[in-house]
Structures are given as C-alpha cells and as structure tokens.
Structure 1
Amino acid sequence: MSNLPARILVVDDAPLLRGLLIQVLQKYGYEVAAAEDGQQAIDHFIKCRPDLILMDADMPILDGVAACARIRQLPEAKYLPIIIVTSYQEREWVDRAYAAGATDYVTKPVNWDVLRNRIHYILQAKHSEEALFDEKEKAQVTLASIGDGVITTDAQGQIEYLNPVATKLTGWFNEEAQGFSLSQVFALIDEINGQPLEFPLNECLAAGKTVEIVKDSALLHRDGVQKFAIESSAAPIRDRDNTIIGVVLVFHDVTENRKLTQKLAYQAKHDPLTRLYNIHAFNVQLESVLQNQQVAETEHALLFMDLDQFKIINDTCGHDAGDQLLKKVALVLEKEVNTHPTFSKATLARLGGDEFGLLLECCSLESALEVGKHLCERIQDFKFLWTNTQHEKGIFTIGISIGLVPVTSTTVASQKSLMAMADAACYAAKNAGRNRVHVYQESDAGTDIHWVSLINDNLERTNGFSLFHQAILPLYPTIGKPKVCYEILLRMNNLQGQLVSPGAFLSIAERYNLMSTIDHWVVYNTLKWLTNHPDYLEKLTLVTINISGYSLADNHFFDILVQNLQQFAVPPRKLCFEISETTMITNFARVLKFITTLKAQGYRFAIDNFGSSMSSFTYVQDLSVDFLKIDGTLIRNIAKNSISYALVKSINTIAHLMDVQTIAESVETQEMFDKLKEIQVDYVQGYYLDKPKLLGNVG
C-alpha cells in the first residue's frame, strides 16, 4: 500500500461549496483536484486517475448521476469509489444514484465528520480490495505459470477453476467447465484396461484429508482419444473457521516418465535380442512356482531347450546370421506355445546363447511332453534363409533338443538344482540323437549333479573355496622398491577336505551358469582379504584376477563388481583384471565397454592366453590393455620349437610397439627362462619360479 496521500477529485459547479470541500479535504491530508461539471470530471479521471471522486448531483451540462454512470463504464473505473453529494433524499433518486454506480452519497448541508469518516473507510476498503485483487492476480499468474494442472471445486464438488495446464490435459476451458462436476471434467481411466475410475473426491470432502490418485491411472482428454498418465492428489480447502469450502486438485503429466519406467522394467526382465524373458526373470518365476508348490499340490513342467546345429550357422555365416536365427526361432517357439491350452501359464525365456527355457504351470507330464514334441516338429520344419554381403544365399535347417523335468508336490529341489536337472536331461536328448524330448532320469545327471551340488554348497559355506596366489616376477631387476605382483588362483575343497583344482570343476560351472557367481566370490574375498591386511596391501604392486567370458555376458555382473570395488578401499592401480583372448574375440563389444569403463577409474587389464592368432592384435589395438599374458602352450615349446620361439618373440615385439607389457606364463624350466630372457619379455610366471601358496581361507 502506498504511503502517498490519496488523490480526491471534487466536482461541483458552485464555487463556494467546491472551495470549502477542497479546503476541508486538504486539511484532512488528501491531495485535491477540482472540476466544475460532469464532463470535466470524466476528462480529469481519464487523464489523472484519482483515488476517489466526490461529485455534486445537480450540475449543468452533465449532472453527477449521469457523469457517474459514464465514468463507471470505463474499464479503469471498475473499482473507483464515487460519492455523490446531494440535497435529494427521495428513494427514487437514491436508487437511481446507486444504479448509476455510486459507491455512496452524503447529503447537504454536509456533515464534515460524517464525510471525513465515510471517505476514510471507503478508501480503506478500496486499498484492501486492491490488495486482495493483487494477491488474487499473483495467485492466478502463479497457477497459470506452474507446470502442474490445478482444478478447484466448491463444497459440492462443482468445478470453480482450471488453470491452463489443466485445460491442456482435460480439454476443458475454465469458463465452460465451471459448474460441472469433477468427474465430468476430470475423466480418470485405468491405464491398462481403459475402464473408468472414480476419483475419491467424497473422501477428501467428508474426511477432510489429502487423498492420492489411484496407481496406474490415466486422464482421458475431452476428445476421447488422447490420454495422459498422471500423478495427482487432492486436498480440502478450508475457510478461517476451518470449514471445508471446496477441494484443490493438483496433477501433472507423467506419461514420458511412466513410459521410461515401463521401458526400464521391461528391459530388466527381457532379452534384448529375442524380446523373450531373460534368465533372471525366468529364475524369479521358477522360484515363485517352487514357493507356491509347497502350499498348492499342482503339477508343473520345466523344459530346457538347446538348438541343434546353431554353432555351424553362427560360425559359417557370422554373428548377424546367428542373431537373426535366434530371433526367428523365438517367434516360432512363442507361436507354438500359445497354440496349446493345456496349462494355466507359460513363461518362455532365452537363457543365454542358443538356450531357451519354458515353464508350464498347472501342466501334467503328458501335456508337457506333447508341447515339447510339437516344438521339436515346428523347429525341424523351420527353414532359415540367409543372404550374405556377397548376395550368396543359403537355406539351413536346425533342430532342438529338450530336457523336461516334471515339478510335482514331491519335488524337493532348489531352483538351481532344477535347472541343472533340466540341462542334464537336455544333454541326454542330444546324446540320444538330437531334436527330441527327454524326460529327466536320475541317471542323466551322473557326476554333473554331484559337482553342481558341491559348488553351490561350497559357495554357501565358510572355507568351501580357498584363494591361492602365484608370483609374477619382473625378468629384470627394477630400481628402487621391488615389485610385488601376484595372480589370484582358486581351489575348491571337496567333502574329504582335499583341494580340487579349477580344471575339475570350472567346465561344470560354465555349463550350469555358475561362473559369474564364482567370479563374484573370488573378487569379493580377494578385496576383503587385502583390506583386512593393510601391511600386505601397502607393499603390493599388482594383483591379477581372472574374469570369465560368462561373467561378462551376465548383465548383472558389472553392477555387483562395481559395488564390491566401491566397498573395499583397494587402490585401483593395484588391481588388474585378466580376460582371455577367446572372450576378447567372441564378445568384443562387452569387453570393450568393461575395460573402457573401469580403465577410466584407474584399474588395469591383461589379455590372458594370448597367441592363438596374430590377428588378435587387431582387437588389442582398440582396447586399452596393460599386459599380454602369452599362452602357456607357446611358452612350454619355446626351448625346443623354433616356430613357438618366433611367435613369442613376434608377440613381445609387437606388444612393446603398442606400449603393452608382456607376461610369459607356464615357465617350468631353466631353459624356458633363458629363452624368455633372450626375447626380453617383461614378466615371467610359472612353477619353476614360484608354486601357488595359500592366501588364506576366507568366506
């Protein structure tokens, strides 16, 4: 509110009264201007905009009532106080003055105290009205500017106001929506099935509490076509007596966010190539079935499917052809499964590579066998046509081997054990001639199940596995503090307490998808041991840990690895991850991403078992690796085979040109050691130099 004196226009054709009014009002502290008739009053208002007009009723040219009516027609005078000074007191005249827009009137002779108080309270009311108007205008500008939709209703739920965002989302303009019920304007529907939903307005009005909108709801536009995923809440509006006088509904468009959330949720459960469920989602569903199986005595069936002859097509025509084949096979399997009504629910997934899983719920063994046989027939009838970059065409036929495990109320097995049993049955189907269904028998698993069970048990118990380390020695002495470098090696304890080398169990772990779990165990416990032995960590130069190709193919492995690296305070420069040459070639994209991401944080990398082909250097050029570990088969022949010697020398020379250091593994004799000194590799490792030693039983 301004501190300047209010400006009053006095309008009177009588000089004496006009002068007296001016004198009195100035005495009261007002700034006063004068006019002699109604027309002058209009002209002065347009030019100067006074805060109040005090105008005589009876004047020549244009009387006060007529002038009042004309001034009131001006948009700027909508809230202008106009007081008529008159000697008339008849009811008809008073009604005419108010009808013309007079705010009030005073009679002649003028009572100065009455005039003073009347002007004071009218101006005070005007200032309050202006302040309210300003606040209302600010509120409306705010409501028009925010990104949320806002709707207000009265106590009966009838629309009073919509802001522009609400208009955009509902399709209703503010003026036309007023008086309609909220449900007519704010049309909620179920986002999934499109059925109408009722907003809990009555709960908000009756209970007087804030309510949230129903989950997975959408707002249907007035056109009946557009719909917006929204999040919303409604709160009661209360007056100064705490009486509920309406509701304010606030909502915003979350269509893009919800699409993104749904997309991420979909990607977390589905294989990106085939669009089928992935192995994680499949295992979750299988685990759920097993949990419910303990309560409900129903039959289910688990089918493990492996394509026959897929490797031939993949190797002959390339990975693009392999990917296209997998996508088409997925469509064939999905279509065939959907034609069979002999189960309540089917979960079809790509488990990895050319392996698929099918879980049939509430399905008998006989029905599952029938489904499996039809799948074999459909895949056998399927013809895969491929045209290469030279426009050469080829038609291929494949088969599918299926292992079937019935899941009944008597089944006592974990999810991992069931998958192992189904895998074993699938291998039995392959061994029996391929493209057939084989129902799991106890004899199928043989020693595999024993090893799978032993691996799983050892992963759960303390001291089930042991970590060993073997020195990696610099071939030439270094100046200053000696380098302390080791490779971490894994051993497993059998039930008799004897140590089992990796060669005995890693192939089983690979077949039954246990490699990423084992790699996690090795990384976690190595980091934990180093953190718990700070003196050893201080003098350590480098420790290398092997990461399998199966782990790199696991979408969840990297996230868990990063969590482990963040959990333990091991300097990145002291950790080196070994990746085999085969993994580098067959899964180059994932290897590149893995190395690039962690290399930026300071971790180091080695390509293990390097040397099968000189063309592998093409891949190494694109990878920022620190070491090449030359394959042991070349090293073991280096002293007696000139070709092996030449190959090792060439690898070492090219590696040094690429600023990559070399490590010769499997050094077992003095002769090998001497030859490596001639070639001038950087590091050596092997039983001749250092036998693996126990790092510590950890778990």
Structure 2
Amino acid sequence: MNDYNFKNLTFLFVEDEKIIRDNIYDILSPFFKKIYVAKNGQEGLEIFKNHEDIDLIVTDIVMPEMDGISMVDAIREFDKEVPIIYVTAFSESDLLIKTIKQKICGYILKPIDVEELLKAIKKAGEIIEAKRLREKLKDINEYLQKEIEKKTEELRKIAFYDELTNLPNRNSLIQDLKRLEKPIVVLLDIDSFKTINDIYGIENGNYVLKEFSGFLKIFEKKYGGKFYRSGSDEFVWLQDNHFEEEKYKKIIEDMIEFISSQKIYLKGYDLGIFVDITIGVGFGKENPLEKADMALSKAIENHQRYYILKNDDTLKKEYEHYMEILKTIKIAIREDGIVPYLQSIVDKDGNINYYEALIRIKTGSTVLVPYQFLEISKKAKLYNKLSSVMIDKSMQIAKEFDRHISINLSYQDLDNKKNMEEIIQKVKYYDIGKKMVFEITENEAIRDFNNILKFIEIVKKYGVKIAIDDFGSGYSNFEYLLKMKPDLIKIDGSLIKEILVNEEAQYIVETISHFSKKLHIQTVAEFVSSQKIFEKLKELNVDKFQGYFFDKPKSYV
C-alpha cells in the first residue's frame, strides 16, 4: 500500500459493475476517512449534492441512466474545483475528447489496478491539500483582516474620540476644521472645574464631565453642529455656517442658560451642583480655534459670560501678534532655534559659582526672551517641547564644557509624572547630577505636592541641588520650604529692585537671609544691577548674587 496518508480523504466511487464497486470499497475503505459508492451517474450526482464532505470523485465513463461525462458536466455547473479521476478503456478514446474541458485530474485504465488508482488519488490528494491550505490561509487572512479592521477602528476611536465622554477629541476637531469653508468655533470652559476636583474628588469630577457632555448632546440635537472635548475642562461646538452675530448671541445665551440650569447630583454627596461656563467665539477660515481661545481669555479677563472675536476687533491685533510668535516658536522647534543663554551666579568676592541657563528663541537675527513667548507656548500646548529641549541642551553644556548649570522648572514641568520621569532619565543619561541646580517656583496651581517631594528626593540622590525660585513673592510657603529642604533660596527680584529705597524690602531680605542661615540654606539675590545694591545685599548677609552688574545673559555657544 502507498505510504501516503489517505485518512483525511473522502471520495465518491461511481461504477455500474457491482463486483468492481464492492471490490474497490472492500480493499480501500480501511485506508480512507470515508468512501461513498454509486452505481450510475444519476445516483453519483445526487450523492455528491447531498454530501459536502466529498473531496474527490473516481468515476467510470460508460454507465446506464447517466454516463460519467454527463454527471461531471452537471457537477461542474456548481463545483469547478473538485478533483475528478476517470476510469476508462482504450476503446473509449473518442469519449475522452469530451472530457478535455472538464478540468479532469487524472485517468486510469481498466481493469483497475489498485496501485495505479492510489497513485492517481495521491496526486488528487495533493491538489486537495493545496486547496485546503489556500482555504485555511484565506480564512486566516480574513480573520486577520477583520482583526486589523477592528484594531484600526479601536485605534481610530482612541485617536479621535475622548474615552471619558465619547465625544470627538481635539484631533478630530483639527481634522474637521480643515475641511470646513465657513467654520464657527464656540469654545466652552467650565468655570472653576479644578475646585470641583479638589472638593469632591477626581471620580466626581469625571462624572461632572460626562453629565456635562450629555447636556451638550441635547443642545447639539436642537441646534445641529458638532461638539468636541478639546481639553481637560474645555469643549468646542463647531458649525459650518455664515456667522450672523445676533443669531449666535441668542444661541450662546440659550446655551449658557440651559447648562447653568442643569443640576448634577454627585456620588457620595446628598447634594447637587450647577456648573457655569465661559465662552469664546472665533470664526472664519483662518485659525478660528486660536481666535476662539483668545476670545475665551478675553471673556475670563473681563469677567464676561462670553466674548466674540470679530474681524474689526482691537483684539485682532493681539491675535495677529499671537500667531506671529506662535509661528516663530514652531520654526525654532523645527530648526533648532531654542538656545540656552547663560548668566553667572557669583559669591561675595565676585567669583563665579555656577550659571543659570535662561531660555531664548533665536530665528535669524531675532532673539525672543521668555516674557514674549512662554505664555503663548503654554496656550498652544508647545511648552513641554520647549522645556524638554532646553533641559537637554543645558545638561549637554554642563557635561561637555564642565560647567555647573542651574535650570528653571515650572509647576507645568513638575505637575506631570511623565515630565518628571523624563527629567530624571536625562539626569541619569548625562550623568551630571552634581553639576546641576534645579530652580523650582512655588505655585498654587501645583496639584500634587507629594509627587514633587518624591521627585526632589530622587534627583538629590544623583547630586542635584534644589533651589526655590522667587522666594518672598506672594505665594511663599514656609511649610513647603521645610518639606522641600532646598540647598538654595533665590530671593524674589521685586525685593532686590527696591532694596535701596524700601525699608520693608530690606527687612524681608534680612529675615530671609537670617532664617536661611539657621536652616543651612544659602541665599541668592537676583536682579543685582549696581555696586550699591551689591554692597547692601552683602550687608544683609546674602550669599550669592546674579544680575546685570556682573554680566548679561549670553549664548554659551
């Protein structure tokens, strides 16, 4: 018997002579999965139609009622691929011509030699296996295609929809804005949302956002357009329409009244709260979202419920300035225009102890200082990129030029675990912890002071010194000072500027210097602009000094 494994095959044997039919069945049935037998073409056709498990057909040609050729013609009408083997005699050569177009797999001669039959079946079996493999691969491909489509849809939802509210997100908004000819952007900000989080917890804050998004969907059904969640507590209503001021004033006033009348019942509290919103409106093909953002800032600044930025508005000049600076920031990021300028910090004898790295943006001959671009970078969500590049370059200077460098870290750098982890990784990568000072500015906007304390603890292990910047300004907190255990305190520049003419400023500086000595913390005075100020600060026992009297910030490269 052939060494080929026939156990996976089921075949139909069509033969009108009972002796041959029974003989072939008895010999081969132990070696095949199953064998069906038929005594003529008509019976064979019916069996094939009713049994989908048949893999191949072995058939005689000349038979009563329906011959093999007619049977195969009928089968080929609905199955073009099932392998078929003809059993034929030399005398049937004229009939064989009719089989040429039937895609026959093989022929064996009568009388049937079992070995020859098995060889023909083996050849057909290889075709069947190849077909099965193709079908399996097709099934796998179809499955993979469905999985890809499913994952693509999941990724699309992640990329273009907000998980919490199920509203389209900022990415979706940006994409939709590109295709609109007359976009109207209505930017909504939930008033004092941080207070809701602080008092009732993040879970209730998220619940408020979900309920709020439900209000927006109700409003969307009434007025059309589309709502998006564009930020933490900011939402956008987008329409493609000609802007009619009076019409949209009424709609916005309706929106404000509707939302402010909706009570939200918080989990775990036997009370409901109302939320108020402030709205900024921008319209037109050119940067409507940025216009709406500026209008929102103006509304908040003026304590108005909403503000519409019109084309003839004086705010338009501010907007144009904003866009010009934003363009410069983007060019600087793209073309390596973020430059650290260094200013020395000296001791009482004028010896340089270390340098503070101050961020500048340089494009061509233009150099921008922080007050010109930092706030705009934060509004445009570009601050983190600027800060990351600045930290990188400052650490490179510390390593390559063997300089002790101080860099500023704002609450925005430290109010985010990802940012803090990135800074820690940079300290490890450059291996310059002992040459670095991190100046941290206290700010009431910091949400989790414990995270900052952990950050300080980690970087100090690598030798980094910690300075508290602008100490003596409105937010100075002695409790935080004791917890942070800084190495240096930088006295707020507003006190130093007044030091020669204001006794109160002198007293505050002297007090800061005195208690710092008790805590073994060194003091640094900024904005030292003259010899007289320098001498006065030395009298008040300040340790280190920085300002134009010693040098102006300059590019180190």
Q: Quote how far apart the aligned CAs of 1:208 are.
A: 5.8
User: What is residue 228 of structure 1 aligned with on the other side?
Assistant: none
Tell me, what secondary structure is at the counterpart of 2:229?
strand
CA distance, structure 2, for counterparts of residue 283 and residue 428 of structure 1: 22
Which position in structure 2 is the counterpart of 1:436? 306
Unmatched segments (≥5 aa) in structure 2: 1-52, 54-129
The answer on whether the counterparts of 1:425 and 1:441 sit within 8 Å (CA) in structure 2 is no
Query: Could you say which residue in structure 2 is the equivalent of 1:449?
Result: 320
CA–CA distance in structure 1, aligned partners of residues 464 and 160 of structure 2: 28
- Does the CA contact (< 8 Å) of 1:448 and 1:508 recur in 2? no
Partners in 2 of 1:331 and 1:630 — Cα distance?
44
Deviations 1:517-536 (A, max 9, x none): 332332233344555xx2xx
What residue is the counterpart of 2:255 in the other structure? 375
TM-score normalised by structure 1 residue count: 0.49
1:636 and 2:497 equivalent? yes
Task: Report if aligned partners of 2:282, 2:290 keep a CA contact under 8 Å in 1.
Answer: no
Q: 1:683 aligns with which of 511, 529, 544?
A: 544
Retained in 2: the 8 A contact 1:516–1:551? yes
Q: In structure 2, what is the equivalent of residue 305 of structure 1?
A: 188
Cα distance change on mapping 1:592 and 1:212 into 2, 3 Å: farther
CA distance in 1, matches of 2:210, 2:457: 35
Correspondence 1:192-271 to 2 at 5 A = 207=135, 211=140, 214=143
Matched with 2:440 is 579
Deviations 1:123-146 (A, max 9, x none): xxxxxxxxxxxxxxxxxxxxxxxx
Larger RCO, structure (CA 8 Å, separation 6 or more): 2
Going from structure 1 to structure 2, the CA distance change for 1:484 and 1:270 (only over 3 Å counts) comes to farther
Q: C-alpha displacement at 1:682, in angstroms?
A: 2.7
Q: Give identity over the alignment, percent.
A: 22
Q: Which amino acid aligns with 2:328?
A: D
Select 1:612's aligned residue among 463, 473, 478. Answer: 473
User: Quick check: 601-610 or 638-647, which moved more?
Assistant: 638-647
Q: Is 2:359 aligned against 1:490?
A: yes
Instruction: Report matched runs for 1:520-599 at 5 Å.
Output: 520-530=388-398, 534=400, 537-538=401-402, 540=403, 542-553=404-415, 557-558=419-420, 561=423, 569=430, 571-582=432-443, 588-599=449-460
Shift in Å, 1:578: 1.6
1:356 corresponds to 2:234: yes
Residue 330 (structure 1) aligned to one of 205, 209, 216? 209
Distance in 2 (alpha carbons) for counterparts of 1:322 and 1:284: 28
* Displacement after TM superposition at 1:269 (Å): 8.0
Kept in 1, the 8 Å contact 2:326–2:376? The answer is: no
Q: Distance in 1 between matches of 2:161 and 2:347?
A: 47
The 1:203/1:578 distance shift into structure 2, 3 A limit, reads: farther
Q: Once the 2 structures are TM-superposed, how far is the Cα of residue 645 of structure 1 from its aligned partner?
A: 2.9
Q: Could you list the runs of 5+ residues in structure 1 that have no partner in the other structure?
A: 1-155, 157-201, 219-257
Structure 1 residues 31-430: aligned runs within 5 Å:
207=135, 211=140, 214=143, 275-276=164-165, 282-290=169-177, 293=179, 301-307=184-190, 310=192, 314=195, 319-320=198-199, 330-339=209-218, 340-341=220-221, 343=224, 346-349=227-230, 351-352=231-232, 355-358=233-236, 360=238, 372-381=252-261, 399-406=276-283, 411-413=285-287, 418-430=288-300
Counterpart residue identity of residue 456, structure 1: K
Any conservation in 2 of the 1:303–1:405 contact (CA below 8 Å)?
Answer: yes
TM-superposed CA distance for 1:635, in Å, is 2.5
Aligned-residue offset at 1:619: 0.8
Is residue 304–residue 404 contact of structure 1 (8 Å, CA) maintained in 2? yes
Distance 1:211 1:563, change over 3 A: farther
CA distance in 1, matches of 2:396, 2:316: 35
Quote the offset at 1:422 in angstroms.
Answer: 1.6
Q: Matched residues in 2 for 1:420 and 1:621: separation?
A: 42
Task: Give SS of 1:449's match.
Answer: helix
Distance in 1 separating the partners of 2:255 and 2:555 = 51
Confirm or deny: 8 A CA contact 1:369 1:437 kept in the other structure. no
Matching residue of 1:623: 484
Contact 1:607/1:625, CA 8 A, preserved across alignment: yes
1:614–1:647 Cα change, 3 Å: farther
Whole-Å separation in 1 of the counterparts to 2:158 and 2:426: 26
The alpha-carbon deviation at position 434 of structure 1 amounts to 1.9
Q: Distance in 1 between matches of 2:475 and 2:248?
A: 50
Cα distance in 2, alignment partners of residues 488 and 620 from structure 1: 23
Contact 2:411/2:446, CA 8 A, preserved across alignment: no
SS in 2 for 1:338: helix
1:474 matched to 2:364? The reply is no
3-state SS, counterpart of residue 441 of structure 1: coil
* Cα deviation, residue 678, structure 1: 3.4
Aligned partner letter, 2:354: C
Letter in 2 for 1:521: V
Q: Deviations over 1:20-74 (max 9, x none)?
A: xxxxxxxxxxxxxxxxxxxxxxxxxxxxxxxxxxxxxxxxxxxxxxxxxxxxxxx
Relative to structure 1, the CA distance from residue 612 to residue 282 in structure 2 (aligned partners, 3 Å threshold; closer, same or farther) is: same
Whole-Å separation in 1 of the counterparts to 2:520 and 2:477: 16
Alignment-mate amino acid for residue 381 of structure 1: S
Check conservation: 1:423, 1:512, Cα contact below 8 A: no
Give the 3 Å change call, closer, same or farther, for CA 406–676 of structure 1 in structure 2.
Answer: closer
| Cα gap change, 1:670 to 1:395, in 2 (>3 Å) | farther
- Distance in 1 (CA, whole Å) between partners of 2:341 and 2:447 is 29
- Alpha-carbon distance in 2 for matches of 1:363, 1:596: 55
Give the Cα separation in 2 of the matches to 1:371 and 1:552. Answer: 40
- TM-score under structure 2 normalisation? 0.60
Structure number with the higher helix fraction is: 2
Give how far 1:421 is off.
Answer: 1.6
Alignment length (residue pairs)? 417
Deviation at 1:687, TM superposition (A): 1.6
Q: Residue type of the partner of 1:489? A: L
1:646 and 2:519 correspond: no
What residue identity is the alignment partner of 2:410? S
Judging changes above 3 Å, is the alpha-carbon distance between structure 1 residues 207 and 622 closer, same or farther for their aligned structure 2 residues? same
The superposition leaves residues 84-140 of structure 1 with CA deviations (integer Å, 9 ceiling, x where unpaired) of: xxxxxxxxxxxxxxxxxxxxxxxxxxxxxxxxxxxxxxxxxxxxxxxxxxxxxxxxx
* Equivalent position SS for 1:582: coil
Q: How does 1:495-514 map to 2 (within 5 A)?
A: 497-514=365-382
Q: How many Å separate the matches in 1 of 2:398 and 2:275? A: 50
The DSSP-based 3-state class of the residue aligned with 1:421 is helix
Counterpart amino acid of 2:348? L
Supply the distance in 1 between the matched residues of 2:480 and 2:216 (Cα, whole angstroms): 41
Partner secondary structure for residue 552 of structure 2: coil
1:692 is matched with which residue? Answer: 553
Does the 8 Å CA contact 2:395/2:405 hold for their aligned counterparts?
A: no
Deviations along 1:145-172, one digit per CA (max 9) or x if unpaired, are: xxxxxxxxxxx8xxxxxxxxxxxxxxxx
Cα distance change on mapping 1:453 and 1:266 into 2, 3 Å: same
Q: 2:539, 2:302 → 1: CA distance?
A: 54
Aligned-residue Cα RMSD (Å) equals 4.8
Counterpart residue number, 2:92: none
Q: State the 1:204 CA deviation.
A: 7.3
1:662 has 2:523 as partner: yes
Report deviation, 1:510: 4.1
Amino acid at match of 1:522: M
